Structure 1
């Protein structure tokens, strides 16, 4: 949760505004995200958020950008194994997913708020999709290294599995029973085995 800060630099103030926007999205939803609410919650002088992001679109873009940065720290797509071994891939994906589900559920709520808003705002949709490429492209590379004949399609299946797991555990009927890392690894290995036709269940 952002703390009240005075005397911030331009860079740190921008980060504070974006982080506060995410906090408000998680707590109050899209209707609770206003320039004035960000100022009040962050302890900034009135008008600070408007000076940084003059329009609602600009404020939403700042939130999307910061969400992508924070998700990248949690999911760490750059840590995915490069060898293409299905067991290593399943272990790496399960570790990142479990870290997200258990440590940062509020970011998932922000993701869904922003994703739904993007369906109503074409200009935000393009921005949201561009921010998401940092996660899609490593999965395509992973599936290519694993020997997939259709890496784009198989990456989509991986994304759909992960997104479905995240929604079920953050906002769906499994929100009180997050799978263990071993359970996630088993599920991911089963998916990879079905797509690649190899024994992906060896996690060692």
Structure 2
């Protein structure tokens, strides 16, 4: 099944985004409002298919848009009614948002998926009106033993993210992140949360 085969059945189809490898459309198929991701060229088709297989895994942990349909040249997942993190984030909501981000990063570490972009979450995180956080864009994600989701997020908290939350001991956080990198135990993860007061 190709995107062209189902295009006629999609109501209110509109382009809503574009990345390096894919184009995103929004539309209604049956009773579902979906986001459709289509490769920009044949060269990128495998990257989109790989993203579909990653979504299946992370969806089991309640992460990412729920995958609904896969085709030869597209994936379709539940459309997330949200705004990019950079448009929503402020000092009042940062703790709630960062706490969810950290928990999702931990889950990804536990299931062996590296998102590869947690150090710059502004463009690949959506936040809905209730401040629920959704990771999007798993194109670059991969299965690996070199897991860096939590430690990449710590990099963000040490730099730009620190503007949104009360001051914390940066030196202690760096040390805690090093410990976590060596040994990804729940105890070492909790130490990071405690320093950040998340």
TM-score by length of 2: 0.29
Q: Give the number of the structure whose residues are more often helix, by fraction.
A: 1
**If each structure's strand is expressed as a fraction of its own residues, which one has the higher value?**
2
Structure showing greater relative contact order (alpha-carbon pairs closer than 8 Å, 6 or more residues apart): 1
Higher Cα Rg: structure 1 or 2? Answer: 1
TM-score (norm 1): 0.29
